[in-house]
Structure formats: C-alpha cells, structure tokens
Amino acid sequence: MQTLLAWLRLLRLPNHATAVADVLAGYLIAAHARVLEWPPAALWGAIAASLCFYAAGMVLNDVFDLAVDRAERPERPLPSGLIDVRTAARVGQALLALGGVCAGVTAFLSGYPNVALVGAALTAAIWIYDRRAKTTAFGPTVMGSCRSLNWLLGMTAAGGPTAAHEWLLPIGMGMYAGGITLFARDEAGRSRAGTLAVASLVMVVGLAVAAAHTLLMAEAGGGAAWLRGDRVTSWLLLWGVLAASILLRNLLGILDPASGRVQTAVGNAIMSIITLDAVLVLAACGEQWSLVVLMLLAPFLVGRQLVAAT
C-alpha cells in the first residue's frame, strides 16, 4: 500500500482529471456536439493519449528534479527512496512513448492526421519542459504550450479547430496554465509577491482570451441553444464569478506569500480548470455535456483525499 500511494503521489493522481477535461472540452466544442451520446473511439483514443502524456510529464518532472527535491522536498517518493529513480525514469519514458502511439492510433481512428502531429509536438514540449525549460524564464511558457496542445489533442480528433475563434480556447487556457506555473514556481518556500502578481495577471489575460471565444461564437450565431437570447450576459457573469474565486485565493497568497497559502491557491487554480472547461462547454454544447465535464470534479476530489495535487 505504501508503494502504491508513492506512485499515486508521483503521478499527481487528482490532476489527471484536468487533462481529461481539456481533451473532452476541446473535442466537444470542435465537433459542435449538441446531443448527449456515447463518445466515439477517436475521443477515447485522445483521452488515453492525454493521460499517458500527463503521467509521463509528472514522473519525468520528479526524475529530473531529484537533486532539488532532496534538498527541498525529501519526503517525495524519489528522494525518500520509496520508488527507485531508474524505474521511474523508465516508466516515464515508456508513458511518453505510449502517449505518442495513442495519438497515432487516434489519428487513424478519426481520419485526421493532425492528431499525430499534435502528439509529436506534445512529446517534445513535455521533454523540453522537464529536461531544460522548467528552471528557466521560459518554463511557464513551455508548460502553457503543453496545456494548449492538450486542448488541441481533443480538437484535432474532431477535425478542428474549424473556425478562427476556436483557436482562442487553447491559447487562452494555455496562458492560464502558464500563469499557474509561474505562480507555483517557489511554492516549496516563500514566494515573491511581485512574481505572484504577474502570474495572476497572466492568468486573468488567459481567462479573458478564452472567454472571447464564446463572445465571437455567439456573435456568429453559433453555440448551444442555451446561449440564445440574453444568456451571453449570464454566461459572462458565471465566468466572472469563477475568475473572481480563483483570483481571491491568489490575492491571499500575494498578501501572505508563505508556502501554505501559495500551494492552496495553486491547488484551487488547478481544480478550477475542470469548472472552467465545463462552462466553456455550456456555451458551445449545452447543459448536458457541460455536466459530463463537471463530473470530472468527482475523481479530482476523491484523488485529492489520497495525494496532494501540487
């Protein structure tokens, strides 16, 4: 049981639900899904690829962080010796390769070769982030690109993006993830309030870019029936409330940049990815599919009882 929990900690189990939410939301919006029905094989393939890529990124992150974790987080699975480093490295590399295979299979199942290209780009981005970019000024940007590519994994499996404004979704949510990464950069110790403020600003801009998709979609006459009439204002209010709840936690971290406050804000921002994805799907695909995405909060919350999200 101790070994199993160590692996779950290494994988950051709860966060996998956010990766699935991105792929599911991307697929549904690009496919213009309106009717609730059993997902096609291409979507399941994209989800499998996303889970492999995310797991690989988490494992390899700790493999390359071993020296730092020995000093700052000695209780982590690798520095504590609960998991052998060479075993973790092999598992991480195997998961990264399996993610590429799943992306290739999804390209075949969907008939859209761009899925394989996105899978190859995601493989490179994960490796670059974990091996080189993480400790540099480019780290948050590379991590944001990973989240953008994860969105595109779902979108390309549905043949998208098919409209210019659909590109705002991976761009905006990628910026939001990049902001979270910058916010979490010094979470093991005491963060700098200025860095936290800049990170929060990046998150806000990302959320604004993603929200622009809904506005442009509604202006073009698209989206779910739910969005008709004056519902755009209601949707914006809902999006604003979610953004405010995220920024409130961030503000508490800025005012007191101690490790506990910052980690709480980061965990809340990560969990909110699922809710944000569900609200984007609400506008584009309607209530039923939005609830399906929102149900991914359940495995996130259950997983968080076992291991920490950060």
User: Can you give the pLDDT at residue 94?
Assistant: 97
User: Can you give the pLDDT at residue 1?
Assistant: 74
| Cα(175)–Cα(140) distance, integer angstroms | 9
Q: Structure tokens of 225? A: 């029936």
Domains of the chain: 2-306 (1.10.357.140)
Q: CB 172: neighbour CB atoms within 10 A?
A: 23
User: Can you give the pLDDT at residue 309?
Assistant: 67
**30 neighbors 159 (Cβ within 8 angstroms):** yes
Q: Which residues of the chain have pLDDT under 70?
A: 309-310
Helices (H), the chain: 2-11, 16-30, 41-64, 66-72, 85-110, 114-128, 139-157, 168-183, 193-219, 231-255, 259-285, 287-294, 297-306
Q: Structure tokens of 67? A: 């020296």
**300 neighbors 17 (Cβ within 8 angstroms):** yes
Closest residue by Cα to residue 243 from 176, 165, 196:
176
User: Can you give the pLDDT at residue 60?
Assistant: 95
Note every long-range contact of 289-293, with CB atoms under 8 Å and residues 24 or more positions apart, other chains counting: 289/28, 289/33, 289/36, 292/24, 292/36, 293/21, 293/24, 293/25, 293/28
**224 neighbors 34 (Cβ within 8 angstroms):** yes
| Cα(15)–Cα(154) distance, integer angstroms | 17
